[in-house]
Amino acid sequence: MASNNAPIGIFDSGVGGLSVLRELRGLLPSESVLYFADQGHVPYGPRGLEEVRVFSEEITRFLLSLGAKLIVVACNAASAAALRTLRVVFPTISFVGMEPAVKPAAESTHTGVVGILATPTTFQGALYASVVERFGSGVTILQDTCPGLVGLIEKGELDSPGTRKILEKALQPMLERGIDTVVMGCTHYPFVIPLISQIVGPEVRVIDPAPAVARQTARLLDSAGLRNMNPTPGVMRFFTSGVVAEFKAQLPGLLGESGEVQQINWKGNRIGYFGAGSSPSVP
């Protein structure tokens, strides 16, 4: 049985999940966090459902081995690929996942035309088909995968000419067809909302589901009696399968704070724990 002081586990293919973590941190500052950035495999979007499911299952196992009391799948692609399986494989653990926010978009659109920006894996998944079927009737939904955008955000290019070009290519045709709402269906994309807002203008609503995900996490912790009641801020530990220095350099700008970052190595489809002779320490 997990304790209230145990950390929340959260993962993404890279820095995208930090857009969810910053909301979690605002709402649940006492919670300790283990954040896994699978930058050795980023981007997940073009990889397809099965490969991303395998990664997600192993990362979850890793986070649980470090004592995580709940897992936030802070990645739309991983949620599309793995959420259902994760709930079956780890039936005693609560999971919070991401799904493109078709429901709030469909409820608030006046023109009846909404845009969804997400990666190919997310668009391929049953989760997306299900939200479109349940909430998208009577609404025209325009999709774009913004090829290359995740890679540029990983490099910290939040406002470069290349980033602008990808977003203009995705958004201009949507604007011409009358969108008044655009949904961030990838957790990397909220970091370019300032640029998106410049392109679409003030009349178009931009929906980032991260605050709703943070609220859902709080609800689940409360219903399981697992919320951390300590008055002090929780400790955040980060793990990357990419380059530690690069991930660490991104933290202050994207999250507004920093923390210890450790290297993780994949060996095939298994996570190797910090090289020979060492093992992960429980925070």
Considering the rule CB under 6 A, would residue 214 count as an interface residue with ligand DGL?
A: no
Amino acid at 55: F
In the stretch 120-149, what mask flags binding to ligand DGL with x, by CB under 6 A?
A: --x---------------------------
d(CA 253, CA 43): 20
Q: Confirm whether 75 is a catalytic residue.
A: yes
d(CA 117, CA 107): 18
Q: How many chain residues are in contact with ligand DGL, going by CB under 6 A?
A: 16
Helices 76-89 and 126-135: crossing angle in degrees, nearest 10, is: 100
- Residue indicated by tokens 């857009």: 19
Q: Which residues pair with 207 in a beta bridge?
A: 183
User: Which of 103/227 has CB closer to ligand DGL?
Assistant: 103
Q: How far is the CB of 99 from ligand DGL (least distance, A)?
A: 10
Task: Candidates 12-20, 58-66, 85-93, 194-202: pick the segment binding ligand DGL (CB under 6 A).
Answer: 12-20
The helix/strand count (H/E) of the chain reads as: 11, 12
Residue from 10, 73, 75, 152 carrying the catalytic annotation: 75
Residue from 22, 25, 69, 188 in contact with ligand DGL (CB under 6 A): 188
User: Which of 77/261 has CB closer to ligand DGL?
Assistant: 77
Task: Candidates 40-48, 167-175, 206-214, 244-252: pick the segment binding ligand DGL (CB under 6 A).
Answer: 40-48
User: Which of 6/182 has CB closer to ligand DGL?
Assistant: 182
User: Which of 5/157 has CB closer to ligand DGL?
Assistant: 157
Reading the block at residue 163, the tokens are 């980033």
- State the maximum Cα–Cα separation within the chain, in Å, rounded to a whole number: 60
115 φ, ψ (degrees, to nearest 5): -110, 140
Q: Please count the other Cβ atoms lying within 10 Å of the Cβ belonging to residue 256.
A: 11
d(CA 15, CA 155): 10
Considering the rule CB under 6 A, would residue 16 count as an interface residue with ligand DGL?
A: yes
Q: Confirm whether 146 is a catalytic residue.
A: no
The contact set with ligand DGL (CB under 6 A) reads: 12-13, 16, 42-45, 75-77, 119, 122, 150, 186-188
Catalytic machinery residues: 75, 186
